Amino acid sequence: MADSIKMQVTRYTPGPDSVPTVAEYDVPLRKDWAILDGLNYVKDHVDSSLSYRWSCRMGICGSCGMNVEGEPKLTCATFLTDYAPGPVRVEPLSNFPIVRDLVVDIEDFMEKLPRVKPWIIRDDDVTVIDGEYLQTPEELAEYKQFSNCINCMLCYAACPIYGLEPDFIGPAAIALAERYDLDSRDRGQRERLDVLIEKEGVWGCTFVGECTKVCPKHVDPAGAIQRYKLKAAKENVMAVLLPRTTR
């Protein structure tokens, strides 16, 4: 194994005429090193102005998503040796505005997330005094995988629809809507469907399925979107047949 690998890293500083450029750095190629360790090596020893987000270094905080050789990845869980002998290209996630170097602007997602009402909705006044809601392991299993979304934005970077149609509410938000819909404690399906039935809701998706492929936590946003399309289609049929109050 060679003892170093070349990283080709996007650099960008906002300004009137600025465009992203690529800088090359040689970093040690070590068995245990993730792409993120390579970036940290650059920041600590070569160029301290390189900017990127990272935190937990164990694939759970969702901060360090970047495109590695064109694919959205968590850079703390993607290893340099898998790209040997190199070079390995590291770019900001696609489909988001670049703020600086490898940092992208995810405010669009932060604004969309609350629109799907990702919280428990109930119409009764049960309180904690009444104890826990019973939920069997089977009921928990119904929604569990959708609750594993870490908001890392890899699915938005992979989604060709989001790239073309920025109004599309997007895979992670829809997966989280489905997570609550499937939760036996929740009564908010109606309210979420009202949001997702709109044109920027599930209809934008042409079922490419890239979102599910790139998810580092094995969440299936494509499956959630498909389920919503069925619910929405059923809803549209009912809308023709019945007045709203009886639905």
Q: Which spans of this chain sit near another protein (rule: CB under 8 A)?
A: 13-14, 32, 43-45, 47-63, 77, 99-101, 103, 105-106, 110, 113-114, 117-120, 126-128, 131-137, 139-140, 143-144, 147-151, 176, 180, 183, 185-186
Q: Which is nearer to another protein, 65 or 209 (CB)?
A: 65
Instruction: For the CB of residue 222, give the shortest distance to another protein in the complex, in Å.
Output: 21
Instruction: For the CB of residue 64, give the shortest distance to another protein in the complex, in Å.
Output: 10
Q: Which residues pair with 100 in a beta bridge?
A: 103
Q: Which is nearer to another protein, 105 or 194 (CB)?
A: 105
Q: Which is nearer to another protein, 43 or 227 (CB)?
A: 43
**Residue 229 zone, left/alpha/beta (φ > 0; ψ -120 to 50; rest):** alpha
DSSP line for 93-112: PTTS-EEETTEE--HHHHHH
Measure the CA–CA gap between 52 and 152, rounded to whole angstroms.
14
Instruction: For the CB of residue 165, give the shortest distance to another protein in the complex, in Å.
Output: 24
Measure the CA–CA gap between 55 and 234, rounded to whole angstroms.
43
Q: Which is nearer to another protein, 18 or 236 (CB)?
A: 18
Measure the CA–CA gap between 69 and 74, rounded to whole angstroms.
12
Instruction: For the CB of residue 108, give the shortest distance to another protein in the complex, in Å.
Output: 13
Measure the CA–CA gap between 62 and 184, rounded to whole angstroms.
27
What element of type H or E holds 238?
helix 221-241
Q: Which is nearer to another protein, 24 or 138 (CB)?
A: 138
Measure the CA–CA gap between 162 and 165, rounded to whole angstroms.
5
Instruction: For the CB of residue 206, give the shortest distance to another protein in the complex, in Å.
Output: 28
